[in-house]
Structure 1
């Protein structure tokens, strides 16, 4: 009798397994037809007794679920996150599925990153951080983690930023990549290509010259710099100094680490050390405009705008057509506009207030006039930059230069139509 019961039980389990296989197959067929909601419906029928089947069938179920959620997800983070969890379980149940899921996982990562970029642009830094970290959990690509940490910094979620940055450092990631570049004969700009063969074809066409191979800037200095600044912000100067000391001991001649050390010194009020380190950085390559530009960026980030403009101006001395330096100087010069406008808006209607208003308006116009030459040159170098055109249009409008205002307005409308 016991044997008969056991055989009956086994037959019952086999029937369940067969039924689940059938539902999963239906789901897979629906996915091939892009019927993702239908696929999820079939999978929901198979789910209740999933614990009774072997790992291979479980992996098949989770793989199908991940694809169905991805296909129907669009920008729905809940579904994309569910797809990550499903693919992770599929690989856990059957690591051999890695090759089969490589394409869907790549598409899922792209969906998460593209969505995170939109969040970042909209100032939704927490959401961008979550999406990038979710992508990292699936792909284990430290670059996703690095950008998650960067968004956490922007969102002032310093605990998460420190955690992610430390994980990036522990992984050995530096962000350095090899690029194949050449100079565009028409524009004079150095452009990167997908690979060496594509670059060589471009050079043979005659449109490009000076083929080179270069390594992009390491992100380690930036990571350590941000970590030290967060520790300082949190009042933990000891950790900040310890972290920088170890990093500098490991790479004493690393210019990016020197800059991070200088920024830390400035934050701590050690201006003498800050100036000493800045001198060493400049001496490392005094004729390189990139050095001065990067020093300008660092100085602006720690609030030393005057020094930042000084470095950008030096970069322009070495390369008068340095578009990014021109734009950054203009941005810094225009940064005082908000305070002036706020004060103007706070005034009343008395005679004294009206006089003060006129004084502030003149100061604001002086700010515009000071920034204008840099923006106008940037426009000549890159006339298709919508942001530069829009800023010029607004400034000309405020300065009552109707002719140039209308010119920039027409230019902006044309650029927007081009997409």
Structure 2
């Protein structure tokens, strides 16, 4: 009997909670209808307050089905603010290869990852386009606000809409819906650009292109990235050029892809993304790679004291398999700027990776003599990396870079720790550094 009563009490509490939420939803919808009636009134429609009220009611209707949750909240925190909300179901799901807990409510699904709310997916909105309607109301408010007395409020409201579109975009991205994410990122940018806010959000447009590319819609990606460039938004280290070139390449226009990469390289000669794109182009099309060095030489003429350009040159030679010239270019960095550590890091990584490749080859060699010859090559390459990393460690001032270099040194010294006391000292020294001792 007690169990039956407990079940009945639980069902009753869920019914009450759902009834309360349904009541809140109905109230939000009724408030919009009342505000719309005012906006349809010729006399009231001339007042900015009418349109601000309509916009705020649409925003309230937008928020109502989502409940009181927020991204990053724990279940315990949500329990405090959502006492009247009862989940309909709960299950473990895999989203984009990641296990999540999906808790379904009457009007929205909550996705939890690592114990925190990650995504709110509204399944039963009051209005399918509440944000769009709210934005239109703010635009109308700006039109009738001839004195600009409410401009600050209108701009704030539009910014909130842009932020909500951006939030929806990231939710869609997390759930793996790239097409929806792209649309929402673009909507975010359009809202930001709406007067009187009038802000061009290059990052949102870039994200719209990135997610369109992930969805395989390269025409849309191309349009978004070209929009970024027209707004002089280049992303991190000119990344937009690399992404735009990739879109052209995917669409079959390799010539245009090359032109975009060269244009980007001129503006961002140190960009790894652009550089790799150019190298891949010239190698895959069997074109004359001398063009790469013409571009880097032009950059050197403009910035003769820029050590990073020699680092880029070293990377080009490395990708083309010319170790000797790559190392020479890396070492030139220190001549230009003794405080520039990345030339030494580039040379160190080149030798280190060379050792790893030789080790892999040796592991597949069954002839003893050939095997021993490969082991000797492996040890030579690995030892060559040590002085390069030591120089980098000595001059770098960035703690994260120091730690990364120390890890390389620890691994390199480990191989020779029984060969000479100096290698054991090196291993012990960098092991402690990596361990944070």
TM-score category (smaller protein) = 0.5 to 0.7
| Residues 97-135 of structure 1, C-alpha deviations (whole Å, 9 max, x = no match) | 86258579769969988999xx9xxxxxx9697898587
Q: 2:121 aligns with which of 60, 82, 99?
A: 82
> What pairs up with 1:267-282 in 2 under 5 angstroms?
267-268=284-285, 269-282=287-300
Q: Which runs of 5+ in 2 are unaligned?
A: 1-15, 37-53, 75-110, 139-153, 190-200, 418-422
Counterpart-to-counterpart distance in 1, 2:172 and 2:215: 22
Q: In the superposition, relative to structure 1, how do residues 380 and 232 fare at CA in structure 2: closer, same or farther (>3 Å)?
A: same
Equivalent in the alignment of 1:94? 134
Equivalent in the alignment of 2:202? 142
Q: In the superposition, relative to structure 1, how do residues 372 and 133 fare at CA in structure 2: closer, same or farther (>3 Å)?
A: farther
Q: In the superposition, relative to structure 1, how do residues 317 and 412 fare at CA in structure 2: closer, same or farther (>3 Å)?
A: same
Deviation for aligned residue 1:267:
5.0
Q: In the superposition, relative to structure 1, how do residues 280 and 364 fare at CA in structure 2: closer, same or farther (>3 Å)?
A: same
Q: In the superposition, relative to structure 1, how do residues 228 and 111 fare at CA in structure 2: closer, same or farther (>3 Å)?
A: closer
The answer to whether structure 1 residue 174 and structure 2 residue 232 are counterparts is yes
> What pairs up with 1:235-314 in 2 under 5 angstroms?
236-240=253-257, 243-244=259-260, 254=267, 256=269, 263=279, 264-265=281-282, 267-268=284-285, 269-297=287-315, 303=320, 306=323, 308-314=326-332
Counterpart-to-counterpart distance in 1, 2:253 and 2:313: 25
Equivalent in the alignment of 1:376? 390
Equivalent in the alignment of 1:365? 379
Deviation for aligned residue 1:406:
1.5
Equivalent in the alignment of 2:8? none
Q: What's the TM-score once normalised by structure 2's chain length?
A: 0.55
Equivalent in the alignment of 2:407? 390
Which structure has more relative contact order (CA 8 Å, sep 6+)? It is: 2
Counterpart-to-counterpart distance in 1, 2:270 and 2:433: 43
Contact 2:112/2:118, CA 8 A, preserved across alignment:
yes
Counterpart-to-counterpart distance in 1, 2:130 and 2:337: 54
User: Is the partner of 1:82 in helix, strand or coil?
Assistant: strand
Contact 1:73/1:80, CA 8 A, preserved across alignment:
no
Deviation for aligned residue 1:396:
0.8
Aligned length: 317
Equivalent in the alignment of 1:187? none
The structure with more helix, counted as a fraction of residues: 1
Deviation for aligned residue 1:364:
1.7
Q: In the superposition, relative to structure 1, how do residues 378 and 283 fare at CA in structure 2: closer, same or farther (>3 Å)?
A: same
Counterpart-to-counterpart distance in 2, 1:151 and 1:329: 35
Deviation for aligned residue 1:407:
1.4
Contact 1:115/1:128, CA 8 A, preserved across alignment:
yes
Contact 1:133/1:148, CA 8 A, preserved across alignment:
yes
Contact 1:229/1:240, CA 8 A, preserved across alignment:
yes
Q: In the superposition, relative to structure 1, how do residues 176 and 231 fare at CA in structure 2: closer, same or farther (>3 Å)?
A: closer
Counterpart-to-counterpart distance in 1, 2:378 and 2:18: 59
Contact 1:397/1:405, CA 8 A, preserved across alignment:
yes
Deviation for aligned residue 1:167:
0.6
Q: In the superposition, relative to structure 1, how do residues 104 and 69 fare at CA in structure 2: closer, same or farther (>3 Å)?
A: farther
Q: In the superposition, relative to structure 1, how do residues 314 and 101 fare at CA in structure 2: closer, same or farther (>3 Å)?
A: same
Q: 2:432 aligns with which of 401, 410, 414?
A: 410
Equivalent in the alignment of 2:221? 164
Contact 2:120/2:171, CA 8 A, preserved across alignment:
no
Equivalent in the alignment of 1:325? 343
Equivalent in the alignment of 2:48? none
Q: In the superposition, relative to structure 1, how do residues 363 and 316 fare at CA in structure 2: closer, same or farther (>3 Å)?
A: same
Contact 1:262/1:277, CA 8 A, preserved across alignment:
no
